[in-house]
Amino acid sequence: MTSPVHSPLLERVMNLSAVSDLRAAAPTFDDDFHAADIAARMVWSSVVEPGDRVAHQLIGVLGPAGALRWLEVGEKVAIDLPDPADLPDPADLREGRSRWSARLEAGNVVAQLEAAARVGAQVVIPGDDVWPPGLCDLGNHAPHALWVRGDQTTLQRLTRSIAMVGARASTGYGEHVTMELVSGLVGRHFTIVSGAAYGIDGMAHRAALADEGDTIAVLAGGIDRLYPSGHDALLQRIIAMGAVVTEMPPGFSPTKWRFLQRNRLIAAMTRATVVVEAGWRSGSLNTAHHAVQLGRPLGVVPGPVTSASSAGCHRLLREEPATCVTTSEEIVELIDGFGTRESDALEDLSPGEQRALDALSDRARSVTELAVSSGMAPLDVQSALGLLDIRRLVEQTPTGWRRRRA
């Protein structure tokens, strides 16, 4: 493979010592192709807002480094394409270019990467062992990279995880119930994921830490600013014992939009979402909606109908396909029942999973082989295999992947 020509920014980023630091915990790739891919994903993470569909499509066609070259060098790159018809709509691309170019200032990007390295963060990208397979279900709205502080291998335990979210304005009742439920889940080796907010979120993390369980906080802003500031000590403890992650690059503040996007990550990376207390318009209803849209089970803890802090929970029970849960056993049942349903119903597979499964047989195949036969990018194949593995539809052998026999 001849060395691709990189964009000037990408060349500069690839030579940063900060980038090596940010990948210190990841397996190393000797080839230039992978190194460029990884660095380009970091840059894209800096350049786009969460959920930017057009950037996703572009990267899907050109690859992260190629897409970055298109953005920096100009539209003529597109003529190298096997089929330009795969590109996003030209009008979308023009708008995208103007959005992304504004942030494509080398000094800024480098400063962000160095800020991340300074706080000891790692960058995790699709295809990494620790990349949460559930994020695959976000399709064109998946993040390009995750910025992680703490032990990034905690992410591997997301295959057995619960998102436990709820109102900032929690009551003693909600906090007590959160503590009980989390304690039961941690005792069953579940990883507790939440948003580090005041109220139920904070209590969920605290309860997990108290029982020495795994916990992951997903932030809406940059990894260098622990938010909310009142939870600085809590977040430092999570970094020490679990992981704090975000898709926003350093320096970015948590805005309303980013909170909503953060919620989609919480719903996508976990096996089920449980809402403990929620006001009528609580942000945790948004996480719940994401869980439902992603086909994840949604558990809701009821409360007194006289409590405004439970009004959103009762609303979910009325308006969504939510299950009333009152104990940690019932939360586990939520997933067990769901897992069974999933493996029974192959039609529940995402397009990527279906294509990867179609390319598999009884004979073991390498990821590269599968990428060729499925027409998918190798990283997407790997993500899809991770998900199919959770569903127990495939298995990894020393010589590659194959379908699991019933």
CA dist 216 and 224 (Å) reads 16
Among 32, 92, 330, 348, binds a copy of itself (CB under 8 A): 330
20 binds a copy of itself (CB under 8 A): no
Among 76, 256, 318, 405, binds a copy of itself (CB under 8 A): 318
**Nearer to a copy of itself by C-beta: 199 or 352?**
199
**Nearer to a copy of itself by C-beta: 175 or 201?**
175
Closest approach, Cβ 236 to a copy of itself, in A, equals 32
Report the site for a copy of itself in 168-197 (rule: CB under 8 A).
173, 176-177
The DSSP bridge partners found for residue 395 are 402
DSSP assignment of 81-131 equals: -S-GGGSPPHHHHHHHHHHHHTT--HHHHHHHHHHHHHTT-EEE-TTSTTS
| Cα→Cα distances 134→159, 163, 188, 269, Å | 8, 12, 20, 5
**Nearer to a copy of itself by C-beta: 94 or 176?**
176
Bridging pattern class, strands 243-246 and 146-150: antiparallel
> What number of chain residues touch a copy of itself (CB under 8 A)?
20
Query: Per residue, what are the HEC states of 136-159?
Result: HHHHHHCCCCEEEEECHHHHHHHH
Closest approach, Cβ 304 to a copy of itself, in A, equals 6
Task: Catalogue the long-range contacts made by 10-16 (C-beta closer than 8 Å, 24 or more residues apart).
Answer: 10/36, 10/39, 10/40, 10/43, 10/65, 10/68, 10/69, 10/72, 12/106, 12/110, 13/39, 13/42, 13/43, 13/109, 13/110, 13/113, 14/39, 16/110, 16/113, 16/114
326 binds a copy of itself (CB under 8 A): yes
Bridging pattern class, strands 400-403 and 394-397: antiparallel
340 binds a copy of itself (CB under 8 A): no
Report the site for a copy of itself in 277-316 (rule: CB under 8 A).
301-306, 310-311, 314
**Nearer to a copy of itself by C-beta: 23 or 314?**
314
Closest approach, Cβ 176 to a copy of itself, in A, equals 7
Closest approach, Cβ 41 to a copy of itself, in A, equals 43
CA dist 92 and 332 (Å) reads 43
**Nearer to a copy of itself by C-beta: 67 or 300?**
300
**Nearer to a copy of itself by C-beta: 228 or 302?**
302
Among 324, 336, 337, 368, binds a copy of itself (CB under 8 A): 324
Closest approach, Cβ 201 to a copy of itself, in A, equals 19
Among 47, 162, 317, 387, binds a copy of itself (CB under 8 A): 317
Closest approach, Cβ 190 to a copy of itself, in A, equals 18
Phi then psi for residue 141, to 5 deg, are -110, 10
CA dist 308 and 265 (Å) reads 27
Contact positions vs a copy of itself (CB under 8 A): 173, 176-177, 301-306, 310-311, 314, 317-318, 323-327, 330
